[in-house]
Structures are given as C-alpha cells and as structure tokens.
Amino acid sequence: MSGQKVAPFQFGAEDVEIESRETLFKGFFGMERLRLRHARFAGGYTEAFDREIFQRGDATCVLPYDPVRDEVVLLEQFRPGALGRNQSPWLLELVAGMDEPGETPEDVANREAEEEAGLTFKRLEKICHYLVSPGGTTEMVSLFCGQVDASGAGGLYGIEAEHEDIRAHVMAADEALRMISDGRINNAAAIIALQWLAMQRQRLKQEWS
C-alpha cells in the first residue's frame, strides 16, 4: 500500500461509532470517557477502545496591532499550567476569553479587549480557527488580529473577582517576533498570531493606516 496516493479527509464523523459516553467530572470544565471504534485506512474498523476527553469549551484570542506605530499589545499573567518547567509561569499572551452562550467570537474579542487591556478594536480580521489539542480536548480557538491605537495602551488590568492580574505591554512588532525566536513567547495562540502578522504586516500597514 505504500506509495499509493489518496486524497486526505476520506472519513467523517459518520465513520466513528461511540459505544458509550461516561461523565467523569462536571464543574467549570468537564471530563468524559468515550468508548469508541473508528474506520481504518486499510479497511474495516478498529477494536473498541477508551479515550478521556477534556470538555473545555471554545475560546477567542486576538492580537492587538497598531499599524501606524508598528506595535503590538501583549498581556502578561500567571498560568499554573506552566509551573514545573524551566521558565517563568508568567506568560506573554494575546487578549483572550472563553466564549459564552449567545456570544459570537467577535463579541468575545471586544469584551475581553476592554476588560484585559482597556482597548477598543477599530476592526478585526480573522486569522484562523484551530483545535488546541484534539487528542485530548474539545477546545477550538477563534484567532483574530485587531487594529488598535497603542499610543495610550499599557498598564494593569483584570477582574479581581475572577482572580485576574494582568499587565498589558506595548512593544515593537519586531521585538515580539524576536521573543518567539528565543523562546520567551511559547504559547500557541501568540505564536500563530505573530507569525501570521509577520506575513501580513505590510498589507495591514497599507490597508489599516
């Protein structure tokens, strides 16, 4: 079978058989155990097997960019998932928030920009939607770049009742890109958005200025 050229995406959700679904935990997030089997590339179906799935909900992330000043706004905050590694658990990230029922990703983007950075987007451009870690969680991220005036940006933000403690940093786009290269920025949403900006920067300067 090696060397045979076959187009991708020959299977769909209808090629998965879920035998059982068990709720293991239900809180702000959830955990389920699925027993399933699915179609095989070589034909037939796999044997039934178990997988635990983290039900996290979807999120929206936005890279604030000022095309006139060629600056971005990044948020620094503590993340417990980064503990135990050879780095600071305070990360530089994008404006971000969980999607609430009835909200569009654009609604989330604008709400979180005000809450987390005191920003207002003049316009939003979709970068992509991506699955964060589909081997174990359902989360989908809607990723945008948003036009801002960064001249007065920066400072301390966050909702204390939600245990948010955020510092907004304004920096040159080139500096943010260097932070990817040297590993100071190592979270997926920020990396994807900044690499997209590197490709689209000249166009945005022309169209957004």
**Which active-site residues does the annotation give?**
162
Query: How many other CB atoms are there within 10 angstroms of residue 201's CB atom?
Result: 17
Query: How many other CB atoms are there within 10 angstroms of residue 198's CB atom?
Result: 14
Q: In which residue are the tokens 């059982």 written? A: 20
CA distance 78 to 12: 39
Confirm if 38 and 15 have CB atoms less than 8 A apart: yes
Q: Residue 187: which of 112, 105, 40, 81 has the closest Cα? A: 81
